[in-house]
Structures are given as C-alpha cells and as structure tokens.
Amino acid sequence: MKKVGVLISGRGSNLQALIDAAAAGSLGGTIAVVVSNVASAAGLERARRAGVPVEVCDHRGRPREEHDAAVVERLGAHEVDLVCLAGYMRLLSPVFLRAFPDRVLNVHPSLLPAFPGKDAPRQAWEHGVKVSGATVHVVDEGLDAGPIVAQEAVPVLEEDGPDELAARILEAEHRIYPRAVRILLAGRFRREGRRLHLHG
C-alpha cells in the first residue's frame, strides 16, 4: 500500500477529503502521517479523529532549510511515497524538493497559471473573471507553478462575493485532490517537459 504524508497549517478541509477518500478505498493508498507547522491547526484534530499519526514541526526561529529537513525526516520516518500540501502556508526549499522529486502535490484555489499566491478567489473575483476553479499541481521551486495534474472550472455567479466563490471552489478542490493523488500513486502519467500526460 502506498503511503501519503499530508502537510497542513490550518483548517484541513482538503486533508479531510483525502482522509475520506482513503477510508473509502478510493485514494490508492493510505495517509501515513499529517505534519503541521502550526500546533493549533484544526486539521490536526481531523487527523487524530481518523487515527492518523500527527507531527508538529514549528518553523519559527529556524532557517527554512533546517525546518524543511526536520519535516523531511518526519515524513521519511513514516516511509512516505507522496507528499500532499493541503493549506500548508510555507514555500518549500530545494532541500525538501530534492527529497521528494516530482512527488509533492499542492491544491490551489484558481485555474493556474491565473491568480497564483494568496487569496486567489478574491483576486479572481476582483479581476472580474467569469470562470475560475481549482488546480492540483506538482510542486516545484516556483510559487504555484509546477506541472498541472487536475483542474476543475467553477463559474463566477452574478450574486457571488469572494467568500461564496471561495466556498464553491473549495468543493471542487475536494473533488479533484483525491483523484489527482490516485493518478500519481498509480504512476498513471508520463511527464514531457511541464506537460503531464495522464492515462486511466
């Protein structure tokens, strides 16, 4: 059984979607550990409730590389095959990415490459786009920049404010993230430059 490690900093609703998929047998693997850089992250409680081991690695007062090495060490101790960022509010250093080459995924609340960075649903709403959505991508050294695994479009409705839009995008995130993890774990893809060809 392949093993997934999930990194969080907060609420953990995407973590919950991954936990639910694993419980339903549709993730293609198990969640071996959840690591948070914030001790009070609500997502830690979701993990505990599901019986998933949790680790807290506080990043404060440490150089980025040192923090990343500590997280990599924790993930390695749980023999993780794939790392999922789920609301993890830290950029990853090369130390991290070298440990899991092409094996780190992130979910982002926009149709990348539009609106990378913080508050993407608000950015999209303020820009006045008519369609936004959610993206799962492989993490590289850029900000929300790596090869795209899955996307789902979400229409911007006339009555939407940024919060309503964000809430509907979040539902799309919860649909595409488990699916993307399943594809990666099964190795059902071929990479050509930054294009991922998916099969099955």
Q: Does 5 bind ligand GRF (CB under 6 A)?
A: no
Buried b (16+ CB within 10 A) or exposed e, 43-53: bbebbeebebe
- Provide the 10 A C-beta neighbour count for residue 101: 9
User: Residue 127 catalytic?
Assistant: no
Q: Using CB under 6 A, which of 5, 109, 146, 178 touches ligand GRF? A: 109
Nearer to ligand GRF, 76 or 92 (CB): 92
- Active-site residue identified among 59, 67, 78, 108: 108
Stretch that binds ligand GRF, among 7-15, 18-26, 73-81, 97-105 (CB under 6 A): 7-15
Nearer to ligand GRF, 63 or 113 (CB): 113
Relative to beta strand 131-138, strand 104-108 is: antiparallel
CB of 199 to ligand GRF, least distance (A): 26
CB of 151 to ligand GRF, least distance (A): 12
Q: Does 13 bind ligand GRF (CB under 6 A)?
A: yes
Cα–Cα dist 177/61, whole Å: 32
Q: Which residues bind ligand GRF (CB under 6 A)?
A: 10-14, 43, 86-87, 107-109, 170, 173
Return the active site residues: 108
